Structure 1
Amino acid sequence: MTVDNKAGGNGFIGATAVLQAPPDGHTIFIAGSSPMAQNTVLFKSMPYDPLKDFRWIAGIFEGMAVVVVPANSPHKNLGDLVAAAKQQPKKLNYGSYAAAYRLSTEWLNQAAGIQTTLVNYKGAPQVTTDLIGGQIDFAMIDAVAVAQLIQGGQLRALAVTGDVRHPLMPNTPTLKEAGLPSYGRSAWVSMAVRADTPPAIAQKLTATMMKILADPATRKFSDEQGAFLLPYDDRQMAAFHLSELEKYKTIATAAHIQAE
């Protein structure tokens, strides 16, 4: 297998590259929640249609995000952050660099009944730099990306997304444990191919992936990376995708986010 990293462009570059390749099953899109779900409510025009242009192969894993504040922040826990935001609506600001984290943070705002202000960044390093320096109040960011900064005392973790605690930060509660029972998954990664890929080829890829995901070695690797497997076959992934599209449409509408 050859990995061709075509990052950037809100996932447009990678998705387009797959659609330009022959539909023979040899080019597979590692499709995350940003290009396949969140982008649909943030962009009026996209060079691909997640529903019409792709065929699901399988889920891979569920990522976890963490709500972080500067190490010297007065907010010691999620309750403190929520209380401060309720006391002064829109005063607290959050940094975000991707569709997934912007919408995940807006979901947090809605679940907690608060209003905070978005500060856009080009990438995670810029968010963490300004967060450490106190230029922004909080951020929701990939848990693995900032685990060392949390462990080193440069950032403070308030809560993680998902249904269970993150293995790299076992003392940090989930958002559900911290008082937001309606908050669930926020990011995921899956596999898809062109929609016109022959069914026999796609089905063979799905069967192969299901065997890989059921392998104890895969579970061990996933646990070591601080990720959680998403062992969905093609049909389960398709149904899950539809539910995610509806979820983020609801979040965007409530947050008054206009597609650009």
Structure 2
Amino acid sequence: MSENKCGIVRRSLNQALLSLAALALTGLTEVTGLSGLTAQAQPASPYPSKPIKLVIGYSAGGPTDLIGRYMAHGMEQILGQPMIVENKPGGGSNIASEQVARAAPDGYTLFVGTISNATNMSVYDNMRYDTMKDFVHVTHFMSSPSVLVVNAAVPIYNLKELIAYAKANPGKLTYATTGTGGSTHFAGELLKLRTGIDVLHVPYKGASPAITDIMAGNVSMGFMTAAGLVPSIQSGKLRAIAVAGVKRLPQLPNVPTVEEEGIPDFEVSSWNGLFAPAGTPPAIVQKLSQAALTVLARPETQAQFAEDSAFVAGGSPEDFRKYVAAEIAKWAAVAKAANIKLN
């Protein structure tokens, strides 16, 4: 074979080898790309795909627990997965709050936040969670205004008479609360700050003993959450002086609000709603919010809440976030002025 022919053969072989290599590389790239597309096309498991845990920072049977269980029952029917309630009381709900704040932000560990998550920010030192930074505020469930009540034997029938009596007899009146640093304590201190009266704080361990001692006459008065209080008022064992809400209670139509009695912008409501750990994906937050709003919109829900002297709240996650932020700011000012602190 001539030298020219040999060169032509070698060049042809080289070109053939290069073409085969390019073809192989192209095929490999296409296969790899196809595999990548296939992996991307596989959807993640739809939420929720397993049971959801709802943590409540109070004992079973209390108002927060009852509302939380009611909402869990309604929401699980919509979401298609069980919502399992876990009661974790202690530390004014701080133990449960911290647990959920540190949970994975995947929508499977949720929390019933309350007014305590606003007041605790001001009264406890060295808090290990931040109510605004460590949570997404999903849906505002309800609010129940405090009602100022007196023992039926006390000769006071309205707020103006109470303020006049307290100023004429400084230190003589006492007010019961469900405990230092709670919403009923803040209500009493807010009244003192806004009116300049001098009344003595008597803290109890919960609402039941506080209400019992007001009825027995061992304590003059107290702000108590309306839920569960109305029957004692209607029976005449307690006299309602004013409602610390934005409007009158349907169950107590003749009892004016504190604002109607001359003290503007006086609202002390026990509230709760759904919290999720910060970083929970917006799509999951929206799905939870829509499920909660659907339950809240049902006539039977509104009837049940009204029976417990509570108002349905609702609104968007952003609405709830703004409400919680305003509550924290309001009670921080009261805590500072009244020097309310807990270790």
TM-score by length of 1: 0.91
Q: Identify the residue that residue 206 of structure 2 maps to in structure 1.
A: 123
Counterpart of 1:134, as a letter, is G
Q: Distance in 2 between matches of 1:225 and 1:129?
A: 19
Matches within 5 A, 1:19-30: 19=101, 21-30=103-112
Runs of 5+ unmatched residues, structure 1 = none
Question: For each residue in 1:28-63, what CA deviation from the matched residue of structure 2 results, as whole angstroms up to 9, or x when unmatched?
Answer: 2111111x1111111112232212221110111111
1:49 to 124, 130, 149: 130
Q: Does 1:114 align with 2:197?
A: yes
- Contact 1:62-1:185 at 8 Å conserved across structures: no
Shift of 1:234: 0.9
Shift of 1:21: 4.2
Matches within 5 A, 1:49-128: 49-98=130-179, 99-128=182-211
Shift of 1:259: 4.9
Larger Rg: 2
Shift of 1:67: 0.6
Aligned length: 259
Counterpart of 2:89, as a letter, is A
Q: Does 1:253 align with 2:336?
A: yes
Question: For each residue in 1:155-210, what CA deviation from the matched residue of structure 2 results, as whole angstroms up to 9, or x when unmatched?
Answer: 11111111211122222111112222221243211110111323321222123223
Counterpart of 2:280, as a letter, is T
Q: Distance in 1 between matches of 2:307 and 2:215?
A: 26
- Contact 1:111-1:182 at 8 Å conserved across structures: no
RMSD: 1.9
- Contact 1:104-1:186 at 8 Å conserved across structures: no
Q: Identify the residue that residue 76 of structure 2 maps to in structure 1.
A: none
Counterpart of 1:45, as a letter, is N
Q: Identity across aligned pairs (percent)? A: 36
More helix by share: 2
Shift of 1:66: 0.8
Q: Does 1:181 align with 2:264?
A: yes
SS at the partner of 2:267?
coil
SS at the partner of 1:58?
strand
Q: Distance in 1 between matches of 2:90 and 2:254?
A: 34
Shift of 1:138: 0.7
Question: For each residue in 1:203-242, what CA deviation from the matched residue of structure 2 results, as whole angstroms up to 9, or x when unmatched?
Answer: 2212322333334443333323321121221111111111
Shift of 1:96: 0.9
Q: Identify the residue that residue 31 of structure 1 maps to in structure 2.
A: 113
Q: Does 1:142 align with 2:225?
A: yes
- Contact 2:178-2:184 at 8 Å conserved across structures: yes
Q: Distance in 2 between matches of 1:39 and 1:131?
A: 26
SS at the partner of 2:201?
strand
Q: Distance in 1 between matches of 2:133 and 2:341?
A: 23
Runs of 5+ unmatched residues, structure 2 = 1-82
